[in-house]
A and B are shown apart, each in its own frame.
Chain A
Amino acid sequence: MRNSAEVVIIGGGVIGVAVAYHLAKQGCRDVLVLERDYLASGATGRCGAGVRQQWGTEMNLRMSIPSVKMFESMNHDLEYDGDIEFKQGGYLLLAYTEVGWEQFQKNVALQQQHGLGVRLCTPEEAKEIVPHLNTEGLVGATYNATDGHCNPFHVTDAYAKAARRLGVEIQTFTEVTAIRRSNGQIVGVETTRGPVATKTVVNAGGAWSGQLSAMAGVEIPVRPERHQILVTEPVAPMQGPMVMSFHHHLYCQQTPHGSFIMGLGDPSEVAGFNQRASWQFLEEMAQKITWLLPPLRGVRVVRQWSGLYEMTPDRTPILGGVSGVEGLFLATGFSGHGFMLAPMTGVLLAEAILGLPASLPIEKMDLGRFARGELFYEPSVV
C-alpha cells in the first residue's frame, strides 16, 4: 500500500469508487481508496437496487436525471467486462391520501419542468401498467418509464475496475483509525496498515461518515437508520416497474433475474448501527405486499437482510468541501438513495476536489446549509 496519495477516499461503496474513477478520468491518478471490509459491503450491496428520477426537490432531480443517462451507457463508458443489468421498467409511485396526491402533483410539475417524461395516472391507468396491482384505496399514481433497476455489485465493480485501470489503488480490509490535521489543513490518515500522507480526504463512509468526520474534528448531521429488505425466488418476468407506496413505506421491484426485491421503512426505527434482520419485518412485509400485489403470495422468500441509510435532516446528500478544514470533502448523507445518485456524485466531487467548473451548484448541498438554515427537504423517501 502506498504511504502517500494526492487524494485518499474513505469508503469502498459505490460512492467512493465513483469519485475515484472520475478523479482519475480528470487526470488525478494518485488516488487511494480505503475500505474497512470488502467493496460494496455496506449500504451499496444491501440497497433495494432501484434507480429513480421522480424526486420532489430540484437538486435531487438535477442529480438523478444525468445519473440515469450515465447508467444507460455505463457498460460501454467504463469498458466493463460484465453487465450492470440496467433495466428501465419505470417506477410507479402510489398515493393513498389527498395530501399525498397533492404532493405528487407538485412533484410531477417540477419533474416535468426538468424534462422528465413523468405522468399522473388514475388508479385504472396504474392497473394497466401493473395488472396485478390491487387498487383498493388508491387515489392516484405517478409513472416514469425511464426509472428502473441496476445491479449495485456490478456498478461498484465496473467503477472499481475502470478506476484501477487508470492507476487508482483500492485497498480493502483496511480501516482508517484517525484523520490528521495540522491547523486547518488535512495532512494524512492513520490506518490499520500504517499511515498515509495526503492533503485531501473524501469521506464516503455512509452510515459511518459521522464517526469519520469526527476524526477530523467536524460534526455532521447524519443519523444511521436500519432498513430491511428481502428477496424472493425468481419467476418469469411479470412486473416491469418498481411499485412504491410512501403511505405504506414500501417498495417492490422484479429484477431482470426474475426475483422480487422488496423493502419496508419503519418510522419507529431508532438511530443506530443495528444491522440485524427481524422476523417482524418478514411478517409485516409479507402481509403488506400480498395485499398490494396479490400474486406474490405464490412466491417463496429466499433471503432477508438489512442495511443502514445515513439520514440527514432534509433527506438530501451533503456534498463538497467543509469550510475551516482545507482538504476535507464530504460525499455522504444520501438518506437511502446514494446508489442511484452515485454517477453524478462522482462527477461533482471530482470537479470540486480539482477546482474545475462545477456541473451543478454543488455549494448549495454543502454542510454549511444546516447552519445557514437553507435546507431542501426531500418529501419522497421510503
Chain B
Amino acid sequence: MRIKEHPILKFERGKTIRFSYNGQELVGYEGETIAAALHAAGIKELSKSAVLHRPRGFFCAIGTCSSCLMVVDGVPNVRVCVERLVEGMVVETQQGRGELGGAV
C-alpha cells in the first residue's frame, strides 16, 4: 500500500528499482527505505521475536526498536526501516541472532 495523495505532502518518486525478498523479485523506488518498499509490496512481517518467535513488523521506523532487523546482502542486523533501497539488493528474513561472519 502506498499513499498517493496527501493534503500537505507531495511525493516525488525516484526511478523504479528491482530487489529480491527471500528469493522473490520485488520493485520499489529509488530513495525510499527497504521497509517502505516491503510495506508497499504487502510484506508486513519483518522478523520474529527472539524468545517466542512471534511475528514482528514495522514499528518505530527510526532505527531504534530492533523490530525490523533483516539480512541484507549477507549482512545481519540491518535496520531496514532506515536503510535505503539499492538496485539488486538481496533482502532476507533473519533466522535467530544473525551470523557476524557475513559482515567482515
Q: Which residues of A contact B (CB under 8 A)?
A: 233-238, 258, 294-300
Contact = CB atoms under 8 A, between A and B. Distances in A.
B97 A235 contact: yes
A211 B50 CA distance: 44
26 contacts: A233-B77, A234-B50, A235-B77, A235-B98, A235-B99, A235-B100, A236-B97, A236-B98, A236-B100, A237-B97, A238-B101, A258-B97, A294-B104, A295-B100, A295-B101, A295-B103, A295-B104, A296-B100, A297-B103, A297-B104, A298-B75, A298-B100, A299-B77, A299-B100, A299-B103, A300-B77
A356 B103 CA distance: 57
B28 interface: no
Top 9 closest A-B pairs, CB basis?
A298-B103, A235-B100, A236-B97, A258-B97, A295-B104, A236-B99, A234-B97, A235-B97, A295-B100
A295 B102 CA distance: 9
Given A258-B97, A295-B104, 12 more contacts: A233-B77, A234-B97, A235-B77, A235-B97, A235-B100, A236-B99, A238-B101, A294-B104, A295-B103, A298-B100, A299-B77, A300-B77
A298 B66 CA distance: 16
A236 B95 CA distance: 10
Contacts of A236: 96-100
Interface in B24-75: 50, 66, 75
A234 B77 CA distance: 9
A299 B104 CA distance: 10
| Residue among B96, B100, B101, B103 having the largest count of chain A Cβ atoms under 10 Å | B100
B100 A238 contact: yes
Nearest to B69: A233
Contacts of B101: 238, 295
Contacts of A299: 77, 100, 103
B103 to A, nearest CB: 3
A82 to B, nearest CB: 13
A89 to B, nearest CB: 16
Contacts of B104: 294-295, 297-298
A295 B50 CA distance: 23
B62 to A, nearest CB: 15
Nearest to B103: A298
Contacts of A294: 104
B93 to A, nearest CB: 15
Interface string B81-104: 000000000000000111111111
A13 to B, nearest CB: 28
Contacts of A297: 103-104
Nearest to A296: B100
A251 B99 CA distance: 22
A298 B75 CA distance: 9
A297 B103 CA distance: 8
Nearest to B95: A236
Contacts of B103: 295, 297-299
Nearest to B98: A235
A233 B77 CA distance: 9
Contacts of B102: 298
Contacts of B100: 235-236, 238, 295-296, 298-299
A293 to B, nearest CB: 10
Contacts of B50: 234
A295 B96 CA distance: 19
Contacts of A233: 66, 77
A262 to B, nearest CB: 14
Contacts of B66: 233
Contacts of A235: 76-77, 97-100
Contacts of B97: 234-237, 258
B54 to A, nearest CB: 17
